Amino acid sequence: MTDTLHILSVGKGGWGGALLLAAGVTFALSVLGFLLGALFGAVAAGGRLSTRALPSWVAKGYGTVFRGVPDLLTIYLLYYGGSIALTEIGKFFGSAGFVGLPTFATGVLAIGIISGAYQAEVYRGAYLAVDLGQFEASKALGLSRFQSLRLVIVPQLMRHALPGLGNVWQLVLKDSALISVIGLVELMRQSQIGAGSMREPFVFYIAAATLYFLIATVTGSVFRYGEARAWRGMVHA
Amino acid sequence: MIDFAFFVEIIPTLLSGLPLTLRLAGLSIGIGFALALLLALAQQGNHRMLVWPIRSFVAVFRGTPLLVQIFLIYYGLGQFRPTLQAVGLWWLFREPYWCAVIALSLNTAAYGSEILRGAIQGVPRGLVEAASAFGMTRLQTLRLVVLPLALRQAIPSYSNEIILMVKGTSLASIVTLMEVTGIAQGLISQTYRAVEVFVAAGAIYLTINFTIISTLNALETWLTPYRVRA
C-alpha cells in the first residue's frame, strides 16, 4: 500500500506529477480536437442541409465514412499517410529517412475529423428543431442570412445541440486515449510507460482510469450547467 | 492514379482478419446483451443493495476509455498471476483474445443496460397493470408484455451500440490480435500506402455496419406492422 502511494506520489521518485501532466495533455488534446470538430461539424451540417446535391452528398459521405470506420483506422491513415507524404517531400529536399508527423497536431486533426462527423448530426438535428417562425421573423426584420444565423438561429440552436454535444465530448475524451498509438505522451501513453518501467501495470492503469473518470465527470457537469443556463427563462416542453 | 492491382492484392489479406473481427464482435455483443438485460432487470426492483453496485459499474465503464479497460484486464490483471492460477482462471486472463472479449462485453453491457433500462421504463404502466388484472404472474408479465415491447423500443439505440462495438473490436489489435485493423496497420507499414489500405479496410467495416443497420431496420419494421413508415 505504501509502495503504491509512493509510486503515485507527486514528489521525487513518484509518477504522480508525470501522470497529472499527461492528463493535462489529454485534456488539451480533447478540447482542441473537439473545437476543430465543431468547425468541421458545422460545415458538414451546412452541407447536409443544403438543397444542392453535391454539398449534401459530400457531407453525407463524410459522416458515413468517419462514423462507420474504426477510429483507430482513421488515426493510422492520418499519421502514416501524412508521414509518408512528408517523407516524400523530405526526400525531394535531400533528407533521408522517415519523417514523422508531429503527434499532437495529428491527434488534434484526427479527433477533429472523427468528432466533426458526429457533431454534424447534432447540429443538423438542432437546426431542424428551431421553429420555422424564427427564420421568417428574422427575414421580416430585414436581417441578412448571416445576421439571422448569428443573432437568431445559432443561439437557439445551441439549446437543442448541447445534450448531443455533451455526448460527443465524452466520446472525444475517451477517443483521445487512442492517440497513444502514434506515440503522443498523453495519459494513456504515460501510464503505459510507467507500468512498463515500474512493473506495476495494475496500479498505473487504475490511476489512468481514475483520472479519465474524474475529467469525464467534472466536464460532464460543466455541460449540464451550460444546458441549464441555455434554457434559463424558457419553459421546458 | 488508383492502382486496382494493389487492391486485388491487399483485399484477401485484409479479409483473412474478418473472421476474428466478427468473432470478437459477435461474442462480445452476445455476452454483453445478456449481461445488459440482467443488469437492467435487476435495477427494476429498486433494491438499494443491488442498484447501487450496478450504477457504479455502469458509471465506471462508461466514464473510462475502452483501451484503458482492455489494458487493465490484460496487463493489469496479469500482475496477479499466482492468485489467478490459484483460482483456476489464469487460462482466461492469459489469452489476449479472452481479455479483449471480457473488456468488450463488460463495456457494451454497461452502455446496453442503460438503453434497456430506459426502454423497460418506457413501457406504459397501464399495460403492466392490465396484465396483473388479467392474473398474470410477474414473470409472465415480463415475458409476454414488458420485454417484447421494451426490446422493440430499444432497437434503434441498441443498433448504434452494436456499431460502436464492431468499431471497438479494432482495439484488440493493440493487444496483438490480428483482426482487420491489425492487419491493415501491418500492411500500411509494409507498403507505405496508407490511403489504399484505409479505403479497403474501411470498406470492410462499412459493409459489416451497413448489413447490421439494414437487418435491424428490417427487424424493427417487421415488429411494428401497424406503424406505416413515411
Q: Tell me the pLDDT tens digit for each residue of A197-219.
A: 998 999 999 999 999 999 999 99
Q: Is A200–B174 a contact, with Cβ atoms under 8 angstroms apart?
A: no
* Residue B111, in any domain of the structure: yes
Task: Give the residue numbers spanning the domain of A83.
Answer: 18-230
pTM exceeding the 0.95 threshold for the entire prediction: no
CB of B76 less than 8 A from some CB of A: yes
Domain total in chain A: 1
A90 occurs within a structural domain = yes
User: So what's the ipTM on this one?
Assistant: 0.90
Given a cut of 90, whether residue B45 has pLDDT beyond it is no
Q: Which tens digits make up the pLDDT trace of B115-165?
A: 999 999 999 999 999 999 999 999 999 999 999 999 999 999 999 999 999
- The answer to whether residue B77 is domain-embedded is yes
* Mean pLDDT value across residues A30-56: 96
| CATH number of the domain residue B63 falls in | 1.10.3720.10
CATH of the domain at A71: 1.10.3720.10
| pLDDT at residue A1 tops 60 | no
Nearest by Cα to A173 from A120, A207, A205, A214: A214
Other C-beta atoms closer than 10 Å to the C-beta of B155 total: 18
Average pLDDT over residues B55-70: 96
Chain B residues with CB-CB distance to A81 below 8 A:
194-195, 198
Tell me if A59 sits within 8 A of A47, measured CB to CB: yes
**Residues B195, A81: C-beta atoms closer than 8 Å:** yes
Rounded-to-integer distance, Cα B118 and Cα B120, Å:
6
* Residue A10 within a domain: no
State how many domains chain B has.
1
Q: Once rounded to an integer, what is the mean pLDDT over residues A126-146?
A: 92
DSSP code of residue A69:
S
pLDDT tier at B2, thresholds 50, 70, 90: low
Residues of B in contact with A76 (CB under 8 A): 181, 184-185, 188, 194, 198
Beta carbons of A106 and A28 less than 8 angstroms apart: no
Contact between B22 and B208 (Cβ < 8 Å): yes
Question: Longest Cα pair distance anywhere in chain B, in angstroms?
Answer: 71
* Mean pLDDT along residues A159-182: 95
SS (H, E, C) A165-209: HHHHHHHHHHHHHHHHHHCCCCHHHHHHHHHHHHCCHHHHHHHHH
What pLDDT shows up at residue A91? 84
Q: What average pLDDT does range B165-184 have in this prediction?
A: 96
Q: Above 80 in pLDDT, residue A123?
A: yes
The residue ranking higher by pLDDT, A100 or B186, is B186
Residue B121 domain boundaries = 19-174
Q: In this structure, is residue A186 part of a structural domain?
A: yes
